[in-house]
């Protein structure tokens, strides 16, 4: 979605979506009732009831499915970010069993890398951009493990676990960038907007005996659609907008490292 829609705080975004959606519904009602009266639908029988119930149900199912899917994707990415930060702390911990020189260099690199993720990489994550300097830091950590030579069976077991953790971490990091995109996508956004427009047009064509009641119902329908679009914008891109995932797990990793170093 375009920046001026996705960047404001949650409350402002919700109000904006409600105003836009409700406004479009009422404008459509006004135009149709004023200029397209010959198209108004009058049917108090069973077919009118069936059609009146079917259209909102179909559109509701579409919005519910996409909204839940976007929310689940957002939660999955958030969980993976936590796992990534935990894997980084595990790497710091296992380096404590390495020779002193390797331990000193490796742990310092992990601290520097974690700080770079928070301060340099995260601000650009909404665009899916990888910070080159931060990438070089994780490559140095990877090279440190790859070039280390274990001298006994005990070190071999520890080193194998260290290599496993590095592999796990790199996969989680790669997944973070792969998920730094819109989950809904432009085509689906277009389909959802068209579905909402079709529902609105379908509703305004009905003829009621009280136009004020009709306007209230259209405003409520527009408000409901606005809430749906608000939730979709909130959860669409895990690293962009008011619902963006924060680097809090990485900050907690730094806090945990600080506690360990004081012991």
pLDDT level of residue 148 (50, 70, 90 thresholds): confident
Are the C-beta atoms of residues 97 and 148 closer than 8 Å to each other? Answer: no
pLDDT value at 40 more than 60: no
Q: Which residues contact 5 (CB under 8 A, 6 or more apart)?
A: 13, 16, 233
Structural domain harbouring 10: 3-262
| CA atoms of 118 and 180, how far apart (whole Å) | 15
What percent of the chain shows pLDDT beyond 70? 91
- The mean per-residue pLDDT over the stretch 206-220 comes to 85
pLDDT value at 1 more than 50: no
pLDDT value at 207 more than 90: no
Are the C-beta atoms of residues 183 and 235 closer than 8 Å to each other? Answer: yes
Q: Label residue 215 exposed, middle or buried (CB < 10 Å: 0-12, 13-18, 19+).
A: middle
CB count, 10 Å around CB of 2?
6
- What is the Cβ-side half-sphere exposure of residue 161, based on CA atoms within 13 angstroms? 15
Of 113-122, 196-205, 219-228, the one with minimum mean pLDDT is: 196-205
Please give the pLDDT value at position 41: 54
- 73-102 pLDDT, tens per residue? 999 999 999 999 999 999 999 999 998 899
Are the C-beta atoms of residues 91 and 141 closer than 8 Å to each other? Answer: yes
Q: Which residues contact 234 (CB under 8 A, 6 or more apart)?
A: 10, 13, 241, 242, 243
Name which residue leads in pLDDT, 206 or 137.
Answer: 137
Please give the pLDDT value at position 4: 45
For the chain, the helix, strand and coil percentages under 3-state DSSP, each to the nearest 5: 80, 0, 15
pLDDT level of residue 185 (50, 70, 90 thresholds): confident
The number of distinct structural domains making up the chain is 1
* Mean predicted lDDT score pLDDT of the chain: 86
| Length of the chain measured in residues | 263
pLDDT level of residue 68 (50, 70, 90 thresholds): very high
């Amino acid at each position: 979605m375009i920046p001026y829609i996705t960047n404001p705080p949650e409350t402002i975004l919700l109000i904006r979506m409600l105003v836009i959606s409700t406004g479009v519904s009422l404008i459509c009602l006004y135009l149709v009732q004023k200029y397209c009266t010959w198209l108004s639908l009058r049917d108090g029988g069973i077919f009118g009831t069936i059609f009146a119930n079917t259209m909102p149900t179909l559109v509701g199912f579409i919005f519910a499915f996409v909204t839940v899917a976007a929310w689940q994707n957002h939660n999955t990415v958030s969980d993976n970010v936590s796992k990534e930060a935990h894997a980084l702390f595990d790497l710091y911990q296992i380096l404590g069993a390495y020779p002193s020189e390797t331990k000193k260099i490796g742990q310092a690199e992990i601290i520097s890398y974690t700080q770079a993720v928070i301060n340099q990489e995260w601000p650009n994550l909404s665009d899916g951009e990888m910070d080159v300097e931060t990438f070089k830091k994780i490559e140095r950590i990877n090279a440190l493990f790859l070039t280390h030579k274990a001298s006994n069976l005990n070190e071999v077991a520890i080193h194998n676990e260290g290599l496993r953790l590095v592999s796990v971490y790199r996969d989680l990091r790669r997944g973070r960038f792969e998920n730094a995109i819109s989950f809904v996508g432009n085509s689906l956004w277009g389909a959802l907007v068209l579905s909402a427009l079709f529902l609105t047009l379908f509703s305004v064509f009905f003829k009621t005996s009280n136009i004020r009641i009709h306007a209230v119902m259209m405003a409520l329908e527009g408000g409901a659609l606005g809430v749906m679009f608000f939730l979709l914008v909130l959860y669409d891109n895990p690293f962009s907008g008011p619902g963006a995932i924060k680097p809090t797990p990485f900050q907690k990793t730094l806090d945990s490292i600080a506690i360990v170093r004081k012991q």
